[in-house]
Every structure is written in structure tokens, then in C-alpha cells.
Amino acid sequence: MASFSSCFCHPQLLLKIDNLGRAIGPQHNVGVHRRSTFAFKSMSSGIFGLQVARMGTDYQIDWSFTGGSRIIIRPKAATVMGCRKCPGIHASWLSNSQIAHSVFGLGTVAVLPFYTLMVFAPKAELTKKSMGSGIPYVVLGLLYAYLLYLSWTPDTLGLMFTNKYWLPELPGIAKMFSSEMTLASAWIHLLAVDLYAARQVFQDGLENQVETRHSVSLCLLSCPVGIMAHVVTKALTKRAGSNKNGMH
């Protein structure tokens, strides 16, 4: 007991041990009533940057001339630390291939109702109002501009105008259209132009009382052939009308 007490007659050595068991630094206190404190802290757990809890226990040794020495154990209550770095969900953008496929299908489906109305109900008021609206062309134009922006590269102009006279050549165009994004933009371009031409054919047929169902149908996939069919049909219709009036 004497040897145990004598070790506390000297200035108190306060040791704080971190969660790796290393001594951080000593502190000296001089007095009649002397107290030695050893703080042992357990490692706090963290999951994905979230600090869950911190627990520890203080071992305190009190010594005095009258009361001798005693050890007091004071457990620390667990404290929940704040979330300093919470995990987040980062939405990944679609790949260029997925965007190209999605817009390709969307544009194709979007124009089908207009062709259906012009072919199966050419004289209906709904058809006339629908074909008189400019909304379809605005939507197709925005889709085309978006795909054109995504498909544009520093080499685009070089592939388009490889000729010394700044004229496009087939090998450069073929290489440029090897990209799905470029193909999708060209498809939306064709859908917009074909629908516009089909509307012109449809409205001209209504004005001149010319059958346009076959011509509009051809404009869907082969616009030049549809326009040619309408020109021929219109000429034949006028000739038939002239012959009919001449007979009277």
C-alpha cells in the first residue's frame, strides 16, 4: 500500500490514450488531493460516411492522505454524431446509344397519327385542324436540334466537306453516318420533311379535289415518290375533268 501510494506523491501524470493506444501528451498537476485519469475511447463506427456512435469509458483514480486511493469507473454514454457525409444517389445519364434509340422510336410513333388521319379520314374536321397546326414540326425540330447537338464533333465539318471545292463526298458522309446518334438525327430530319410534304400534298388535294391517299402514304417512307405521284394524279384528274366538260 505504501508503495502504491508513493507513486502518486509525485506530480500527477495525465495520459490520454487515443483509439490506437498511443499516448497523446502528459499533463502535470500538483496538489494535496491528487487524481489520475486515464481516458480510453473506443473507435467510432462509420458506414458510408455516416458517423453512427461514439462510446468510451473513463477510469479515474482518486488518492488523498486521508482517504487513501480508489478507482472510479465512469462509463460514457453513447453519443450519436451528426451525418457529416451522407451517401447520395447519383442519377446516371443515358448513353448516346440509348438516347438515339429512344428518340428514333418516339419520332416514328409521333408522326403516325397524322398519316392515319390523312389516309382514313381526309375530309374530317379533326384531320383538317391537325394538319393545319404547326406543333408537330416544332416538336420534330426540337428533337432534331437536340440529336444534332449530341452528334456534332470537331470532325463533322471535315467529314461533310472533304472536297477541295467544299462539296460533300460519299466516303466522308458514309463515315459520318456510322454513328447511331447521327443516323437518329437524320431519321428525325426525314420524318419532319416527309410529314411537311405530305401535308402540302393533302391540302393541295383538298383544294383541287384530287385524291391524295396513295400519295400521302408514299410520302411516309419515300417522300419524292409521293410528291411525284401527287403531281401525276393531279394532272390526270384535270385531264379527265377537261375531257368530261368537253363531252358536255
The tens digit of pLDDT for each residue in 81-108 reads 444 444 443 334 578 889 999 999 999 9
Spatial CA neighbour of 216 closest among 229, 207, 206: 229
Residue 39 clears pLDDT 50, i.e. is over it: no
Is 39 in the same domain as 161?
no
The mean of the pLDDT values for the chain is 74
Residue of higher predicted confidence among 188 and 44: 188
Q: Which residue has the cell 457529416?
A: 84
- pLDDT band per the 50, 70, 90 thresholds, residue 62: low
Q: Single out the residue in 50, 79, 108 at which a domain terminates.
A: 79
Residue 225 located in a structural domain = yes
Q: Single out the residue in 79, 106, 134 at which a domain terminates.
A: 79
**What domain range is 221 assigned to?**
96-247
Is 125 in the same domain as 214?
yes
Grouping H, G, I as helix, E, B as strand and the rest as coil, residue 28 is strand
- As a whole number of Å, the end-to-end CA separation of the chain is 143
- pLDDT band per the 50, 70, 90 thresholds, residue 73: low
Residue 91 located in a structural domain = no
Number of domains in the chain: 2
Is 100 in the same domain as 50?
no
Is 138 in the same domain as 19?
no
Spatial CA neighbour of 4 closest among 36, 32, 28: 36
Q: 48 in the Ramachandran plot: left (φ > 0), alpha (ψ -120 to 50) or beta?
A: left
Residue 89 located in a structural domain = no
Is 71 in the same domain as 193?
no
Is 102 in the same domain as 188?
yes
Residue 68 clears pLDDT 60, i.e. is over it: no
Mean pLDDT across the stretch 149-162? 83
Residue 134 located in a structural domain = yes
Cβ(131)–Cβ(117) below 8 Å:
yes
How many helices and strands, by DSSP H and E, does the chain display? Answer: 9, 6
Residue of higher predicted confidence among 163 and 239: 239
Is 175 in the same domain as 107?
yes
Q: Single out the residue in 45, 79, 113 at which a domain terminates.
A: 79
Is 147 in the same domain as 228?
yes
Residue 84 located in a structural domain = no
